[in-house]
Chain A
Amino acid sequence: MRYLEQKPGPFWWTRNIRYFIYFVREIAGIMLGLSTLTIIWCLFQSRLMSDQNISMILETITFYSFWIAMGSSIIHSFTWLHAIPRIMPFTLSRTGQKLVYLILLAVWIGLSWLAIVTIFAPISHA
């Protein structure tokens, strides 16, 4: 006599959309870390290398890593902001949670735009 073991396999996250979104959130976090490390590594290497070809390869890697980092950070921010209303010390209804999420999104986008305009744009112009 034996019980039938039921364990989630390695592809448990393909079962439904919510699991998938969680998986994407976590992968985005990993990709963000990996791509940032790649960029930093490339920056260090480019100081040491003076070879034109290697320099170009490093530039390309940096370029694509930047976009991966950007995409990952957006996905990660969106999904984490979505989770914030749930951890408040007070209980919110479903609509209340959606409202808080949208407010947080708006604040985040607003702050990001401000940062671009006041910090990064002047630097790039200079």
Chain B
Amino acid sequence: MKNFTLKIQRYDPETEKVYFEEHTVPYAKDLTVLDALNHIKEKTSAEIAYRWACRMGMCGSCGAIVNGKPALMCSTFCRTLKQPISLQPLRNFPVIKDLVVDTDDAMDKFREAMPYTEIQKRHINEKDETLQTPKQLKQLKQASQCIKCMLCYSACPVYGLNKDFIGPAAGALAQRYNKDTRDKIKDKRMDSVTGKNGVYKCSFIGECSEVCPKSVDPAASLQKLKVAGMFHAVKKTARTVIKKHEKNLHEIP
């Protein structure tokens, strides 16, 4: 039962220095990387900066690169990892300090997915719920599991090279709302996600689905959106043509 060794990448924004620290943590069978990090913070380095909250894999705060792969620290067990365990901040994001990265830009991408069922900004005064069968609910189940942990943005080279790309999680969110039978704004949403830097920038590398801790499969969502976008473009063109034709008819004296 050997102790665990963690090699943590530190970054000080004031001195702009990157350096590595090695720490040892006593062995425990169910010790997660987050537990080990908390132990280190309590006993030796009280200043080490990282995000965490729920410690049960639901909030998505504790994403980091663990032994080269993006992972949630609270759901990764030290005993399954090759020693020394290397901890680095998520890639593709600027590092604020130690393991904390700036994910504001990626968080804003969710707006582009228009994640609401309608655009009326009012309190709904309906008496009853809209009916939705369990089978219809199952349609959006997979894409709705996304905890917005940003591991997929860290894995996506397209996002890494072009920060305007809508990204995997936003794509999955758009797909989740498209598949919801209560949604009323699918056309507007399709316009939004198939624009410049939208879903068509995805090169289907598939790494996002590999690292997703909740098996959301954002790559599949993005490809489905591409196909749906095709039909949407055809419908839109058809509508414009028909409208123009009608207009011409009315203009005949």
Check whether chain A touches chain B (CB < 8 angstroms): yes
Find out whether the CB atom of A3 lies under 8 angstroms from the CB atom of B96.
Answer: yes
Q: CB within 8 Å of B: which residues of A?
A: 1-8, 12-13, 15-16, 18-19, 22, 26, 83, 86-87, 89, 91
Find out whether the CB atom of B157 lies under 8 angstroms from the CB atom of A6.
Answer: no
Q: A89 — which chain B residues lie within 8 A by C-beta?
A: 224, 227
Q: Give B84-123 interface residues, CB cut-off 8 Å to A.
A: 89, 91-96, 101-102
Query: Given A2, A7, A87, which contacts B160 in the complex, CB threshold below 8 Å?
Result: A7
Q: A86 — which chain B residues lie within 8 A by C-beta?
A: 204, 206, 217, 219-220, 223
The reply on B177 being an interface residue by CB < 8 A is no
A26 to B205, CA, bound (A): 10
Find out whether the CB atom of A4 lies under 8 angstroms from the CB atom of B95.
Answer: yes
User: Which 8 interchain pairs have the tightest Cβ spacing?
Assistant: A3-B94, A4-B95, A87-B223, A8-B160, A22-B205, A86-B220, A1-B13, A4-B11
B219 to chain A, nearest CB (A): 6
A–B complex contacts, Cβ < 8 Å, 14 sampled: A2-B16, A3-B13, A3-B96, A4-B18, A6-B89, A6-B92, A7-B161, A8-B91, A13-B157, A16-B68, A19-B207, A86-B204, A87-B220, A87-B227
A98 to chain B, nearest CB (A): 14
Find out whether the CB atom of B94 lies under 8 angstroms from the CB atom of A6.
Answer: yes
- Chain B positions 134 through 154: 1 when the CB is less than 8 Å from some CB of chain A, otherwise 0: 000000001000000000000
The reply on B237 being an interface residue by CB < 8 A is no
The reply on B203 being an interface residue by CB < 8 A is yes
A69 to B71, CA, bound (A): 39
Q: Give B58-98 interface residues, CB cut-off 8 Å to A.
A: 68-69, 89, 91-96
* Complex: chain B residue closest to A1, CB-CB: B13
The reply on B14 being an interface residue by CB < 8 A is yes
A72 to B11, CA, bound (A): 44
The reply on B210 being an interface residue by CB < 8 A is yes
Q: A5 — which chain B residues lie within 8 A by C-beta?
A: 94
Given contacts A8-B161, A91-B142, 19 further A-B contacts (CB under 8 A): A1-B13, A4-B11, A4-B13, A4-B18, A4-B95, A6-B95, A6-B101, A8-B157, A8-B160, A15-B68, A18-B205, A19-B207, A22-B203, A83-B223, A86-B223, A87-B220, A87-B223, A87-B227, A89-B224
